[in-house]
Structure formats: C-alpha cells, structure tokens
Amino acid sequence: MSEKMWGGRFSQKSAKLLEEFNASLPFDKELYREDIEGSIAHAQMLGEVGILTPQEVEAIVTGLRQIGEEIERGEFQWDIADEDIHMAIEKRLTQLIGETGKKLHTARSRNDQVALDFRRWVLRQNRRFQTLLLNLIEILTQLGEREKETILPGMTHLQHAQPITFGYQMMAYASMFKRDYLRFKESYRRNNLNPLGCAALAGTPHPIDRHSTTQKLGFTAPTTNCLDSVSDRDFALEHLFNIATLFMHMSRLAEELIIWSSQEFGFITISDQYATGSSIMPQKKNPDVPELIRGKTGRAYGNLLALLTTMKGLPLAYNKDLQEDKEVVFDSTRHGLISLQILIELLSTMEINRENMYRACKRGHLTATDLADYLVNRGVPFREAHHITGRAVAEAEKRGVDLSDLPLEILRQIDPRIGEDLDLSLEKSVQSRKSFGGTAPGQVARQVAEFRKFLSRERKKGGE
Ligand code: ARG
C-alpha cells in the first residue's frame, strides 16, 4: 500500500528512483515562506465563508506559524518522500494539530498553490532587483556629476572617434539601467494577480472568496481564468528576460571596465578589494569581478531559453513539465542579485585615471570632425570639408603629431579659409556638443539633474 497523500488508488509503494526523480523538495523548499503565508490566507478565508470553524482556523494558523519557525531554526525534518514543499508542510501540520490539518487543502490544489507560491516569490525578488537597480543608477549618476568634465576618447568600432566625457559615458549606462528598472517595475504591476482558489483547473464548487485572499496577500486582483492561471508561467519568463537583459547591460559595462583597467588603457584602477591576483605571476591584478559578470550572462540567457522551451507545446492545464520552472528562476535571480551588488561596490571604489584618459585623446586625431564642422561654418560644403580635413590628418600623421597639435600655418597652407579663431582643443570640442542629449558638460548636468529627480521620485514611491 502507498503511504502517499495521493496514495488511495495505489496498491504498490513508489520506487526509490521515482521519489528522487519526481521530487522538487530539494529545491522548492525555497518557497516555504510563500507557501505558509498562502496557506494562512487560504485558511482564514475558509473561516470567513464558513467552511472552517474559528477554532479550526486558529489551530491551522498556529500550526503553520510554528512550522515556519521550525524551518527557520533549521529543525524541520526534510523527507524527500514528501515530494514537494506543499506536501511537506501539510504533512507536518497534520502531525502537529491532528485531523484538522487535513481540512486545509479544501477548495485548493497544488496546482494553484504552486502557481501562487512561485509567483509571490518572483514578485518579492523583483522588488530586490528594483532596489538594487536604483542604487546602481545612483552611483552612476554620482559619477556622471563628478566626471562631467573628464575627457576621454569616445569610440565607435573600438577606434577613437570623438572626445566625450566620462560622466557622459556613465550616464549612458544609467540610461540602460533605468530601462531595466522600469521593465522590472512594469512586470511587477502586470503580474501582481492572485491565482489562489483556481484549484486544479476548473475552479471549485465551494463558496470561496478569492477577493479576500487577494487582499490578504497584497495582490491587486484575482486572475480571471482558472484554466490559464494554473498553467501560466509568463511572470517567470518575464523575470528571466528582465534578468537576461540586465545581464546584457552589466556585461557591456563589465567589458569596458576590463578594457579600461588593462595596461594598454589604464583609464581606471579597480580597488584591491575587488580585484584578484595570480597564483604564479606575482605582478598580476586581475578584473575577475567584471569577468564573472560577463561570464554569468551566459547562464542568464540559457535559463531564459530553457524555460521558454519547456513551455512550448504544453497543453492546458498543469503538466509536470512546469516543475522545471523553478531552478532556472532561482539560479538567474541569485546570480543577478549578487552581480548587481558587487558591481555597485566596484563602481563606488574604483579610481578614475583622468590624466591617462586625457593623454589617450592625443592619439587618433579625435577633433578631426571639429575641423570639418569649422569649415562647414565658413560655408564649405561638408563633403569638401571632410576631404580637406583628411588632408590635414595625413599631414599630422606625416609629422607624427595629433591633429590638434598641428601648427596653424600648416593648416592654413592646406586651406586658407582656416582662420585664427580655429580651436581644435578637446575642451572646445566637448563644450561645442551641446545639442540635446550631447556630451557637453551642461548637457550631462541636465541628464544628472533629471536622474536625481527620477531617483527621488521612485524612492518616495518605494518601488511599485
Ligand atoms: N511540485 C510541483 C511543481 O513544482 C507542485 C505541483 C504539483 N501538482 C501536481 N498536480 N502534480 O510544479
């Protein structure tokens, strides 16, 4: 005879390997808090509608709270034969309070139970991402403000293009992470719906009140179609996508940090606290932190694709395939949160080597476009101006100097329309790019001010 909770129609015991293969308990323990809170709300609602007596509700709630404490103190006896967190907690409840424990599952199924627990877990973690993203945007905004006049080579194709400021570049990343923040926030709002009470797939004949559990658990509304609700994992997919995109952005910044901290660039120095050494080469100081962030991006993409693929072709409603939803989400969440935390710490402790950045601008004729623009202002058609500037660059190359250091007489020999007022300095170049959203310090200051406003607005609202 089977001793399982669902064992009534079984005449043989489960195989050992079945238990190991089928169980989610080793990983879905992670959901214990959400499971207990969901069960408490469910029991209280069953009391409100007269399915449970006040005494029964009281016994169930007290028992569930005790189980929560047992788990937190590490005293709970985990047994893989219980299969999952839902049955492990229910079995313990019955041990603690007797027959009444068996009434808790009235008007409920593990299908809506797991949909509820997992959704609330994802929403909780979503909040943590929102908070950390605001902290990350804050540090980038501080760097934007402080370094709004720090000039470095702006690049395209990783080749010197035009001078920009480091503050400007930091605000570019702040803009990416702001979109990530808003994506998490929108996902939270879209998915803050209650599937509890959907039961196995068709709803329930019991006179339950889904609005009551909705309110108790802090959702905005109950989900509207039970068949969809027990098999929908869009909230988890969105979470995985949000994390994957966040990782893509973190990885791009990580890549720049790695390049900038190389001997060739020397634009930044990563603090000793966040760098590592080599076991053989004593002189080495390695950027393991940004490298790991870049590396973990692979698993964040993989996890998203894994769940998308699992979901494909599932008939309605619940299928056991859905149990594969959890580990990928736990994994992406854990690595995403720790990566964000350490990135924030690395950015707040790194040194900015302003002189190296400035010196690098003296290679690659960064102000060539400025010369062409100057000629355009003198009425020369842009294409011709481009050509004249090309000749000036060739002359500078021949002399082994940067275009900005070519004497004015030489430039005037190339084209007499070039006047005394020509200023090819890096400072002038950066100052001149004051079109909306450009690199001029005034424009960066405007972006910083907007981000400050955004940060204080979002913090006041407390996320959602
Ligand atoms: N452990 C299961 C999961 O994670 C819970 C739901 C099981 N429901 C069922 N009908 N077998 O998906």
DSSP letters, 233-275, are -HHHHHHHHHHHHHHHHHHHHHHHHHHHTSTTT--EE--GGG-
To 5 degrees, how large is the angle CA 72–CA 78–CA 81?
Answer: 150
**Ligand 1 neighbourhood includes 110 CB (under 6 angstroms):** yes
From first CA to last CA, the distance across the chain in angstroms is 51
Residues 18 and 212: their CA atoms lie apart, in Å, by 38
Match 């001997």 to its residue by tokens.
263
- In 390-410, which positions are buried (b, 16+ CB within 10 angstroms) versus exposed (e)? eebbebbeeeeebbbebeeee
Mutational pocket test of ligand 1: of 31, 110, 321, the residue with most ligand atoms within 8 Å of the beta carbon: 110
Distance 110 CA to ligand 1 centre (A): 6
Distance 114 CA to ligand 1 centre (A): 7
CB atoms within 10 A of CB 318: 20
Read off the pLDDT of each residue in 368-389 and give the average, rounded to a whole number.
96
**Ligand 1 neighbourhood includes 323 CB (under 6 angstroms):** yes
The whole-number pLDDT of residue 1 equals 72
Closest CA to 214 of 325, 127, 112, 129: 112
Angle between helices 368-377 and 382-399 (to 10 degrees): 140
Residues 90 and 36: their CA atoms lie apart, in Å, by 10
**Ligand 1 neighbourhood includes 105 CB (under 6 angstroms):** no
Percent of the chain with pLDDT over 90: 95
The whole-number pLDDT of residue 13 equals 93
Atom of ligand 1 nearest to the CA of 118: 4
**pLDDT band, residue 417 (cuts 50/70/90):** very high
The whole-number pLDDT of residue 3 equals 84
Contacts of 427 (CB under 8 A, 6+ apart): 151
Mutational pocket test of ligand 1: of 122, 320, 327, the residue with most ligand atoms within 8 Å of the beta carbon: 320
Q: Residue 3 carries which DSSP code?
A: -
**Ligand 1 neighbourhood includes 28 CB (under 6 angstroms):** yes
Q: What is the pLDDT of residues 114-149, one digit of tens each?
A: 999 999 999 999 999 999 999 999 999 999 999 999
HSE, CB side, 13 Å, CA atoms: give it for residue 425.
5
At residue 463, does pLDDT exceed 50? no
| Residue 399 vs residues 72, 394, 419: alpha-carbon distances, Å | 73, 9, 21
Q: What is the pLDDT of residues 394-407, one digit of tens each?
A: 999 999 999 999 99
**pLDDT band, residue 377 (cuts 50/70/90):** very high
Residues 329 and 237: their CA atoms lie apart, in Å, by 8
Mutational pocket test of ligand 1: of 4, 323, 326, 328, the residue with most ligand atoms within 8 Å of the beta carbon: 323
The whole-number pLDDT of residue 140 equals 98
| Residue 22 vs residues 13, 245, 320: alpha-carbon distances, Å | 14, 32, 9
Residues 39 and 62 sit within 8 Å (Cβ to Cβ): no
Q: What is the pLDDT of residues 146-191, one digit of tens each?
A: 999 999 999 999 999 999 999 999 999 999 999 999 999 999 999 9
The whole-number pLDDT of residue 464 equals 47
Contacts of 206 (CB under 8 A, 6+ apart): 49, 51, 106, 107
Residues with catalytic roles: 157, 278
**Ligand 1 neighbourhood includes 44 CB (under 6 angstroms):** no
Residue 73 sits at φ, ψ, to 5 deg, of -80, 0
Contacts of 215 (CB under 8 A, 6+ apart): none
To 5 degrees, how large is the angle CA 104–CA 105–CA 108?
Answer: 130
Distance 111 CA to ligand 1 centre (A): 6
The one-letter amino acid at 19: E
Alpha-helical segments (H) within 268-399:
288-311, 325-349, 354-360, 368-377, 382-399
Q: What is the pLDDT of residues 44-69, one digit of tens each?
A: 999 999 999 999 999 999 999 999 99
The whole-number pLDDT of residue 278 equals 87
Which residue has its alpha carbon closest to ligand 1 atom 2? 323
Q: What is the pLDDT of residues 261-300, one digit of tens each?
A: 999 999 999 999 999 988 888 888 999 999 999 999 999 9
Match 């996902």 to its residue by tokens.
187
HSE, CB side, 13 Å, CA atoms: give it for residue 122.
32
The whole-number pLDDT of residue 419 equals 94
Contacts of 212 (CB under 8 A, 6+ apart): 41, 44, 45, 48
Helix or strand holding residue 165 (H, E): strand 159-165
| Residue 80 vs residues 30, 158, 331, 436: alpha-carbon distances, Å | 14, 54, 21, 61
Q: Residue 151 carries which DSSP code?
A: E
Stated length of the chain: 464
The whole-number pLDDT of residue 2 equals 81
**Ligand 1 neighbourhood includes 118 CB (under 6 angstroms):** no
Distance 170 CA to ligand 1 centre (A): 45
Q: What is the pLDDT of residues 453-462, one digit of tens each?
A: 999 999 998 6
Which residue has its alpha carbon closest to ligand 1 atom 4? 323
pTM for this entry: 0.96
Q: What is the pLDDT of residues 86-102, one digit of tens each?
A: 999 999 999 999 999 99
At residue 237, does pLDDT exceed 90? yes
